[in-house]
Structure 1
Amino acid sequence: MKVGILTMFNGLSSTYSLVNVVAEQLKMLLNNNIKTKLLVTEHCSAKEQEGIYKDERIEWAKVTNTLNGEQIHWHDYTQAKGAVHDTFFAEAEVIAEDLIEKLADVDVCIMHDIHYQGWHLVHNVAVRKAQKELPNTKFIAFTHSFPANRPSNPEWPFSARYTPMPNTIYAYPTYSGISALSKQYNVPQGKCRVVNNSLNLLENMSQETQTIAKNIDILSSDILIVYPGRLTPGKRFERVAAFAGAMKSKTEQDIKVVFCDFKSSDIKPAKYKRIITEAGYNFGLQEEDILFTSDLGYPDGIPRETVLELFTLSNLFICPSFSESFGLTVLEAASRGNFLVLNERVPALEELGKKLNAYFMRWDARNYGYNTKEEYQPSEEVYYQEHGENILNLMRENNVLHAKSMVRKRYSPQWIWRNQLEPLLD
């Protein structure tokens, strides 16, 4: 399959929101190994190519914007009737001829605002002419602004902004606009689809975070737990894994755990990792649910900036640590909007947690002058499951936390691609 994106961009400045929308679609296509052609005007400068626009996998096609050696100047035809300039149809003809050649090897052509914008009326008409010679090309027409009210008797060529094109699906960013979209183009709602704009949270994050994202699915999980610390039994890594597993088995949520670990002399890392993973597996996690950043080439720990980036993505922080003098990671997790679950038996965590309205659970702990040991009835697993279910309900009721989690998993490029854009290409 080969997909063409028809934009008619004159420039690629990221201040133009549509440039960013197209950039995300380019990434979706290229990341899924789909041959991609980007069609822009012949006057679009390569000097502004940044980010994905520099990807060598993109096939660039510059559509003519010249008639008889003179540059074509676009006119804004937002009205439903009137007169077009003298060379309008001649311009549409030469553009159509060029589009026939440029789209000849394309299976699907995604158009952005070509049918909507009055500035693109000449391209709108040109595409309709070209389509007659492209019977095997499917078209998807995106509208990115509020649909226009359909006039009662639009005249040609102005009616191109209100008339459906054959073999074309009409797309809009939200469900609320589908009815208005279908009315503008006089097309059944069954020919309209929703493709949300996506937010690529990883785009401006560090290479370390992007490497982690390639090795564990940190975007689409319902619950993402990040736990940084020295790889010592005192930090109770195995309790984090066990709790996550019990929560997963009880609530049937997709849960991922990223341990930002660094080696300790207290215990051999390989031995302790086996203890941690076995605890997680015994309580309900799968192999793909756990990742140690030390296994990715960071035995001495990942940069602090990367930990903060991961906390920006995560939504649940569990700290069952045996002993803490303060708990700086608690502040870091809280500052990035995580639900906090702390060991109530550790005085420093209790003090800090009360100030932060944290949720408390009980684990073994070191207090001043003595240690405490917990007994769970009927079992540790049931204790985790009961609290896990309660924590999930509290997280769902928290509007800010719910919004943060939804943005990460529901509006990620991966979700938009898999559930909305990819189905349109079939």
Structure 2
Amino acid sequence: MKVALLTMFNGLDSTYSLVNVVAEQLRMLLSAGISTKILVTEHCPLEDRYGVFLDERIEWVKIVNHYEGKQIHWGDYSQPSGKVHSTFFNEADVIANDFVEHLADVDVCIMHDIHYQGWHLVHNVAIRKAQEQLPNLKFIAFTHSAPVNRPTKTVWPFSARYTPMKNTIYVYPTQSGISALANQYNVAEGKCRAINNSLDILSFSSKEIQLLNENTDLISPDILVVYPGRLTYGKKFEKVAALCGAIKMHCEKKVKVIFCDFPSSDVAPNVYKKLINKQGIMNGLDEEDMFFTSDIEDFKNGFPRQAVLELFSLSNLFICPSYSESFGLTVLEAASRGNFIVLNEQVPALNELGKQLNSYFMKWDARNFGFNTHEKYHPSEQAYLKEHGEIIVNLMRENQVIQAKTLARTRYSPQWIWNNQLDPLLNPFG
């Protein structure tokens, strides 16, 4: 399959929101291994390309924007009737010929606001002329602004803004606008789709976070837990894995645990990691649900603190079952990044700090002042983890801030939009 993005951009300034939308779609298409070209005006300065626009896999096409030696100036023909300038149809013919030439090898053409914006009326007419010579080409026409009311009377070429084109699906960023979209273009709602704009959080992340994401998925888990600490038995990494396993098993959530570990002289790392993995798997996790940052060569001696704070901005659940703490600074760090906090109630420092932060408490073995505690669970530790795992998930669901943070990362990620909205729309065209 080969896909073209018809934008007619004059520039690539990221302050123009549509440029960012197109950039996200380029990333999706390239990540899926789809051959992609982008159509811009002949005046678009390609030397200003940046980010994904620099990807060498993209085929850039400059569409003619002059007629009889003079630059074509786009008139804003937003009214339903009137008169166009004297060379309008000749300009449309020239542009149409360019469209035919450069779309002949394409299976799907994704248009952005070409049918909607009044200043794109000449391109609207041109692509309709080109479509007549490209009967097998499928079109997806995005409208990025609120659909306009369909006038009772329109005349050509102004009626192109309110008329459907053959082999075309019309798209709007939200489901709420589908009825209005269908009305503007006079098509059945079944010919319209909602494809949300996406938020690529990782595009703003540090190289450390991006490298970590290349090794394990940070975006799609419903529950993302980050637990930083020295790889020692006192930090009780295995208890984090066990509780996360119970959450996955009994709450039907996709769970990922990132252990930001660094070596300890009192334990063999491979031995303890095997124990942690075993406890997680026994309680419901798969091995790939757990990841140690020390398994990446760059981070074998520890994950940078600033990157840990970045991870906390992605995660939504922090669990600290530590046997002993003098304060628990990571608790504050996780709380400052909007995580649901679960702490060991039996550790005095965690108890004190957790009450200030309105945290959720569970009971694990702990060292107190002058004595140690040893927990016994009835009827079993697995039942205890199940009970509290379900409560934690319900409380997280009811927390508006955590729910919004989670959905922004998962539901509106480029991966979700691609897998659930854009790719299914392309597939029938394959």
Q: Please indicate the TM-score interval, normalised by the length of the shorter structure.
A: over 0.9
The corresponding residue for 1:89 is 89
1:216 Cα deviation from its structure 2 partner:
2.0
The corresponding residue for 1:166 is 166
The one-letter amino acid of 1:158's match is F
Q: Distance in 1 between matches of 2:125 and 2:288?
A: 51
Matched, 1:406 2:407: yes
Cα offsets for 1:173-197 (capped at 9, x unmatched): 0000000000000010000000000
Q: Distance in 2 between matches of 1:337 and 1:231?
A: 25
Matched, 1:397 2:388: no
Cα offsets for 1:361-400 (capped at 9, x unmatched): 0000111111111111111111011000001000010011
The one-letter amino acid of 1:212's match is L
Matched, 1:33 2:53: no
TM-score by length of 2: 0.98
Q: Distance in 1 between matches of 2:110 and 2:300?
A: 45
SS in 2 for 1:132: helix
**Residues 345-424 of structure 1: matches in 2 within 5 Å?**
345-424=346-425
Q: Distance in 2 between matches of 1:5 and 1:249?
A: 43
The one-letter amino acid of 2:208's match is E
1:117 Cα deviation from its structure 2 partner:
0.2
Q: Distance in 2 between matches of 1:99 and 1:118?
A: 19
**Residues 333-352 of structure 1: matches in 2 within 5 Å?**
333-352=334-353
The one-letter amino acid of 2:183's match is K
Matched, 1:20 2:20: yes
Q: Structure 2: which 5+ residue stretches go unaligned?
A: none
1:48 Cα deviation from its structure 2 partner:
2.1
The corresponding residue for 1:193 is 193
SS in 1 for 2:377: coil
SS in 2 for 1:106: coil
Q: Distance in 2 between matches of 1:125 and 1:358?
A: 61
SS in 2 for 1:203: helix
1:214 Cα deviation from its structure 2 partner:
2.1
The one-letter amino acid of 1:358's match is S
The corresponding residue for 2:114 is 114
SS in 2 for 1:169: strand
The one-letter amino acid of 2:24's match is E
Q: Distance in 2 between matches of 1:134 and 1:330?
A: 61
SS in 2 for 1:36: strand
Q: Distance in 1 between matches of 2:250 and 2:104?
A: 54
Q: Distance in 2 between matches of 1:392 and 1:417?
A: 27
**Residues 177-326 of structure 1: matches in 2 within 5 Å?**
177-297=177-297, 298-326=299-327
1:47 Cα deviation from its structure 2 partner:
2.8
The one-letter amino acid of 2:411's match is R
Q: Distance in 1 between matches of 2:105 and 2:309?
A: 46
Q: Distance in 2 between matches of 1:417 and 1:337?
A: 27
SS in 1 for 2:62: strand
SS in 2 for 1:261: strand
Cα offsets for 1:310-336 (capped at 9, x unmatched): 111110000000010110100110011
SS in 2 for 1:301: coil
1:204 Cα deviation from its structure 2 partner:
1.2
The one-letter amino acid of 2:66's match is T
Cα offsets for 1:210-262 (capped at 9, x unmatched): 12212222211111111001000010000000111111111111111000001
Q: Distance in 1 between matches of 2:290 and 2:120?
A: 50
**Residues 43-58 of structure 1: matches in 2 within 5 Å?**
43-58=43-58
The corresponding residue for 1:74 is 74
Q: Distance in 1 between matches of 2:333 and 2:247?
A: 23
RMSD: 0.6
Between the two proteins, the alignment pairs up a number of residues equal to: 426
Q: Distance in 1 between matches of 2:250 and 2:19?
A: 44
Cα offsets for 1:106-161 (capped at 9, x unmatched): 10000000000000000000000000111111000000000011001110000000
1:206 Cα deviation from its structure 2 partner:
1.2
The corresponding residue for 2:331 is 330
1:85 Cα deviation from its structure 2 partner:
0.3
Q: Distance in 2 between matches of 1:401 and 1:178?
A: 29
SS in 1 for 2:256: strand
Matched, 1:10 2:10: yes
The corresponding residue for 1:140 is 140
Q: Distance in 2 between matches of 1:255 and 1:382?
A: 19
Q: Distance in 1 between matches of 2:168 and 2:306?
A: 46
SS in 2 for 1:4: strand
Q: Distance in 1 between matches of 2:211 and 2:289?
A: 16
The one-letter amino acid of 2:361's match is F
SS in 1 for 2:202: coil
1:302 Cα deviation from its structure 2 partner:
1.2
The one-letter amino acid of 2:275's match is I
SS in 2 for 1:80: coil
Q: Distance in 1 between matches of 2:134 and 2:288?
A: 45
The one-letter amino acid of 2:206's match is S
SS in 2 for 1:155: coil
Query: Between the two proteins, what is the percent identity of the paired residues?
Result: 68
Q: Distance in 2 between matches of 1:108 and 1:219?
A: 28
